[in-house]
């Protein structure tokens, strides 16, 4: 009986648990309950990925109403792979957050933090699993509203300005997506994504469809912080509580990248998006500019959280660059980097949060001497930083290796060279922090007795991600199999829809010929 509802449980579980966490009241109870629920969601996502890889697509009709009339939840290799990363990061961040939010969030808001975290998890899971375009917008708003709340919970009042800017830009992005979905519904009369795809093929030259595509692409680009629509991200990541930053940097933008992939491959079709509308070149140019511009911005920042925020925008550029290559290898590189970047940024922001917990600052100059005072934390930061650079035996190397291969397969030598050159910026901005931690002395004005390693509740989740950075950098079987299956499935879905459209055109042509013969006779 449980297997029937397996696809719905990752959404329903945290959605129902969120108000319960608020009712529990006490911080320790809310923390334990939220962590347990997130852990169960992780186990469910692992099972869903196994089912998707072995049996194919798992479809669930909500309320027993068959699609396209009813709401459909669909789990395939692509969204199950991303869901696994989201639920894993969520669970580790919740374990990490107990001590972190005690320092950075007022005690009265602790239960609100866990409630908003579970709502955000439910929204992100819903975005990934839903097969309905309008419900994707609904889940997007659930996760966004929870995210605005999470960003605003820090004791630093600058978080309110950052949350307001995030709210304004996020609302604009969501409005664009809603307008785009509305235009598609006006033209096709359906909201189910697969049904949309079949009907859109008959209106490929429609201005309404093309306008809807434009609105959706711009709205999703705001949500994923694609250059130059990224200006909400650095202040949000900088001023939010450390646990919030670790969660959002590892999940929210990655889910938005998946949404772009889903709309392109399973709704509009790659021929229409990249050939007819010419968006491949646009995405490639924006991705390359994001890599260089935002990597450069990361090198000139003094706040480490801001450094990593600009680095995140640059890494999103790598994901979109793989997508713009329009090949199985390129899409596979993007899917791998979605998973791998979650591991990197989660570990980095957890390490930075540990430094803030002990030092009370995350300026680069305040990292001086921490390599000796907080050896485990700084070792974790160093390994995750090497992964961002793309050093062999880390997941960062795997991501960039597959991206370079995908570029070379299409004789895009210039793009491959840009990927390698862009990695040099990471050497600079990560190197500045490591140099301060290991090659500078602790300032005399700071008492060395107050600076010590953080508790195991913060170290264990951090080092789980660090070990994952190394493990999946050495043994790539799981990530490459899942990403390759996801990429092939997306391309097969796109090809099947195109074949259906061609068959429909042929049948329509035959019907017109028959009518013409009847009239002539």
Both tokens of 321, joined, read: 């660059």
pLDDT score of 4:
64
Could you tell me which residues are beta bridge partners of residue 175?
none
d(CA 253, CA 437): 29
Q: Quick check: is 364 in a domain?
A: yes
Both tokens of 408, joined, read: 């070379």
Instruction: Name the band, by pLDDT with cuts 50, 70 and 90, for residue 493.
Output: low
pLDDT at 508 over 60: no
Q: Quick check: is 346 in a domain?
A: yes
Could you tell me which residues are beta bridge partners of residue 194?
none
pLDDT one-digit tens code per residue, 292-310: 888 899 888 888 899 999 9
Instruction: Name the band, by pLDDT with cuts 50, 70 and 90, for residue 382.
Output: very high
Instruction: Name the band, by pLDDT with cuts 50, 70 and 90, for residue 203.
Output: low
Q: Quick check: is 343 in a domain?
A: yes
Share of the chain above pLDDT 90, in %: 10
* Low-confidence winner among 257-271, 398-412, 466-480, 488-502 (lowest mean pLDDT): 488-502
Instruction: Name the band, by pLDDT with cuts 50, 70 and 90, for residue 521.
Output: very low
Q: Quick check: is 457 in a domain?
A: yes
If one compares 160 and 503, the residue with the highest pLDDT of the two is 160
pLDDT at 511 over 50: no
Apex 410 CA angle, 315 and 263, nearest 5: 55
pLDDT at 502 over 70: no
pLDDT score of 3:
58
pLDDT score of 463:
92
Region for residue 226 given its phi and psi (left: phi exceeds 0; alpha: psi -120 to 50; beta: otherwise): beta
Instruction: Name the band, by pLDDT with cuts 50, 70 and 90, for residue 505.
Output: very low
Q: Which residues of 293-313 are buried (b: 16+ CB within 10 A; e: fewer)?
A: bbbebbbebebbbbbbbbbbb
pLDDT at 501 over 60: no
pLDDT at 14 over 80: yes
Q: What is the 3-state secondary structure (H, E, C) of 407-421?
A: HHHCCCHHHHHHHHH
pLDDT at 421 over 50: yes
pLDDT one-digit tens code per residue, 48-80: 888 877 777 777 777 667 666 777 788 877 788
pLDDT score of 118:
92
Based on the structure, what is the number of domains in the chain?
1
d(CA 258, CA 344): 18
pLDDT at 457 over 70: yes
Instruction: Name the band, by pLDDT with cuts 50, 70 and 90, for residue 411.
Output: confident
Instruction: Name the band, by pLDDT with cuts 50, 70 and 90, for residue 189.
Output: confident
Q: Quick check: is 8 in a domain?
A: no
**Cis, bond preceding 228 (omega within 30 deg of 0):** yes
pLDDT at 167 over 50: yes
If one compares 312 and 360, the residue with the highest pLDDT of the two is 312
Both tokens of 70, joined, read: 């009813």
What's the pTM value of the predicted model, to 2 decimals? 0.85
pLDDT at 500 over 60: no
Q: Quick check: is 452 in a domain?
A: yes
pLDDT one-digit tens code per residue, 146-161: 989 888 888 778 888 8
d(CA 429, CA 309): 12
Q: Quick check: is 412 in a domain?
A: yes
If one compares 202 and 142, the residue with the highest pLDDT of the two is 142
Instruction: Name the band, by pLDDT with cuts 50, 70 and 90, for residue 445.
Output: low
Instruction: Please state, rounded to an integer, the average pLDDT across all residues of the chain.
Output: 83
pLDDT one-digit tens code per residue, 22-48: 888 777 888 889 899 999 999 988 888
d(CA 49, CA 131): 17
Q: Return the percent helix, strand and coil in the chain, to nearest 5.
A: 80, 5, 15
Dihedral angle computed from the Cα positions of residues 364, 370, 375 and 379, in that order, rounded to the nearest 10 degrees: 20
List of residues 6+ apart from 505 with CB closer than 8 A: none
The residue range of the domain holding 414 is 278-475
Share of the chain above pLDDT 70, in %: 91
Both tokens of 151, joined, read: 């960003």
């Amino acid at each position: 009986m449980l297997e029937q509802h397996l696809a719905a449980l990752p959404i329903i579980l945290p959605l129902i648990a969120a108000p319960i966490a608020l009712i529990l009241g006490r911080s320790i109870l809310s923390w334990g309950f939220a962590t347990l629920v997130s852990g169960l969601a992780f186990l469910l996502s692992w099972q869903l990925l196994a089912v998707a890889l072995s049996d194919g697509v798992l479809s669930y009709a909500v309320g027993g109403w068959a699609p396209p009339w009813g709401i459909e939840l669909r789990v395939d290799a692509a969204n199950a792979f991303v869901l696994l990363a989201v639920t894993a990061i969520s669970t580790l961040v919740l374990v990490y957050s107990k001590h972190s939010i005690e320092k950075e969030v007022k005690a009265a808001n602790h239960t609100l933090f866990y409630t908003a975290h579970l709502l955000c998890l439910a929204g992100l899971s819903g975005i990934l699993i839903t097969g309905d375009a309008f419900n994707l917008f609904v889940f997007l708003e659930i996760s966004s509203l929870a995210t605005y709340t999470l960003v605003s919970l820090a004791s630093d009042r600058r978080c309110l300005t950052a949350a307001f800017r995030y709210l304004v830009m996020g609302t604009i992005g969501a409005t664009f997506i809603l307008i785009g979905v509305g235009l598609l519904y006006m033209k096709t009369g359906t909201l189910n994504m697969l049904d949309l795809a079949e009907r859109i093929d008959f209106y490929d030259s429609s201005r309404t469809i093309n306008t809807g595509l434009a609105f959706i692409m711009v709205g999703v680009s705001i949500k994923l912080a694609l250059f130059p629509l990224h200006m909400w991200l650095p202040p949000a990541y900088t001023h939010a509580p450390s646990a919030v930053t670790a969660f959002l940097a590892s999940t929210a933008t990655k889910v938005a990248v998946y949404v772009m992939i889903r709309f392109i491959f399973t709704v509009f079709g790659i021929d229409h998006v990249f050939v007819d509308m010419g968006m491949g070149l646009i995405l490639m140019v924006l991705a390359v500019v994001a890599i260089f511009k935002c990597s450069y911005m990361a090198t000139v920042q003094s706040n480490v959280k801001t450094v990593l925020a600009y680095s995140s925008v640059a890494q999103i550029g790598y994901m979109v660059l793989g997508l713009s290559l329009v090949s199985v290898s390129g899409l596979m590189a993007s899917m791998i980097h979605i998973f791998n970047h979650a591991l990197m940024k989660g570990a980095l922001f957890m390490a930075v949060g540990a430094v803030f917990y002990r030092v009370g600052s995350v300026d680069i100059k305040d990292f001086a001497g921490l390599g000796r005072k907080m050896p485990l934390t700084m070792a974790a930061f160093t390994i995750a930083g090497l992964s961002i650079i793309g050093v062999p035996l880390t997941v960062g190397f795997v991501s960039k290796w597959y991206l370079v291969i995908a570029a070379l397969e299409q004789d895009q030598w210039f793009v491959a060279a840009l990927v390698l050159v862009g990695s040099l910026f990471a050497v600079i901005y990560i190197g500045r922090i490591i140099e301060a931690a290991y090659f500078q002395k602790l300032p005399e004005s700071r008492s060395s007795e107050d600076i010590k390693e953080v508790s195991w509740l913060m170290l264990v989740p951090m080092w789980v991600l660090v070990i994952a950075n190394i493990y999946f950098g050495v043994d790539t079987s799981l990530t490459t199999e899942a990403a390759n299956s996801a990429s092939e499935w997306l391309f097969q879905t796109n090809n099947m829809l195109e074949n259906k459209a061609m068959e429909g055109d042929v049948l329509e042509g035959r019907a017109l010929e028959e009518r013409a013969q009847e009239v002539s006779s």
